[in-house]
Amino acid sequence: MKSSLPCLAALFLALASASAADAVNPPAPLTLKLWPEGAPGKMAAPSQKTLRLIEASKAKAISNVTDPDITIYQPEHTTGTSVIVAPGGGYHCLVMGNNGTEPYAWLNSLGITAILLKYRTPTRDEANPSEKPSADALRAIGLVRHHASEWGLDPRRVGLLAFSAGGTMLGHVACDRGPRSYEFNPQFDDIRGPDFGIMAYGGGFLDKDDKTKFKAGISVPADAPPMFFASANDDKIADPQDVTMLYLEYQKRVIPAELHIYAKGGHGFGVKQGPLPVHTWTQGCAEWMVAMGFLPKS
């Protein structure tokens, strides 16, 4: 009778190899709907101008998002920090790639769980274009905190990284304390917004007739989250004066904030590599997260 020891040894070796692979390879991305029973509110029909914008951007963006969701990208070794990524797109689309899916690789390299937010769009024709995207962001934050222990996350280190129109939405989530546009669900919602924000070339916060004042409903409350701002002086779409005014209000409130305005970079520099100083903003942001205690010191 042949000994079964070689077979057992082979089995143990296979199990050990599988366990090692699981430890090294992060889980496959997981996608969750934000509103399984349907998103609240009715979306306005897009105007002809919006339809033309959608058509012009369809090669690099997605639109007609009526059932928003989040996709979770976990790193090989987590620090417990998570960051929700909100792409830009002028509230008519979501520009993916450099403003959406690519940032998760950078975040994962820091040990951060990256969560891509596909918020509702188009909403640019609505009276408050930020309302539905903001509701989606708040629900996403609540879902992350709800699943924090399951995903190995710290519910007190949930950030929001937002680009362009997503940055405008971040400004509303962080600083607009008006009534919520949806019924609060204590199982999935949280009265707190993000624990910190990272705003890349956001704007649209100032009164169009008087740039020394904020729009109605925008102010920096005492409980606003710490914020990192990155913008370019030559941005022709999102005036850096908007984030400068927000930063000054943060100073008045003695709330931690860091502002980086680069001489060149235009709009949409994202996380891509390049020769300009603006292309190093992610390094400065990582250092800020460490200094603030949102990431552990290496």
Per-residue pLDDT of the chain (298 residues; tens, 9 = 90+): 444 434 434 433 343 333 333 434 567 889 999 999 899 999 999 999 999 999 999 888 999 999 999 999 999 999 999 999 999 999 999 998 877 678 999 999 999 999 999 999 999 999 999 999 999 999 999 999 999 999 999 999 999 999 999 999 999 898 876 666 677 677 777 667 899 999 999 999 998 899 889 888 788 999 999 999 999 999 999 999 999 999 999 999 999 999 999 999 999 999 988 999 999 999 999 999 999 999 998 7
How many other CB atoms are found less than 10 A from the CB of residue 278? 21
Selection from 102, 114, 88 nearest residue 235 by Cα = 88
Position 297 scores a pLDDT of: 87
Q: What are phi and psi of 161, to 5 degrees?
A: -100, 125
Superfamily the domain 26-292 falls into: Alpha/Beta hydrolase fold, catalytic domain (3.40.50.1820)
Position 215 scores a pLDDT of: 87
Position 216 scores a pLDDT of: 81
Angle at 70 between CA 201 and CA 192, to 5 degrees: 70
Tokens 């100032």 belong to 206
How many other CB atoms are found less than 10 A from the CB of residue 10? 10
Position 217 scores a pLDDT of: 77
Selection from 176, 193, 195 nearest residue 256 by Cα = 195
Selection from 81, 108, 85 nearest residue 98 by Cα = 85
Position 26 scores a pLDDT of: 60
Q: Which two tokens stand for residue 224?
A: 């606003």
Q: Which two tokens stand for residue 261?
A: 């305005």
Selection from 70, 85, 68, 38 nearest residue 151 by Cα = 70
Question: Is residue 63 within 8 Å of residue 55, measured between CB atoms?
Answer: no
Return d(Cα 125, Cα 248) in angstroms, integer: 31
Position 219 scores a pLDDT of: 86
Return d(Cα 239, Cα 262) in angstroms, integer: 12
Position 25 scores a pLDDT of: 59
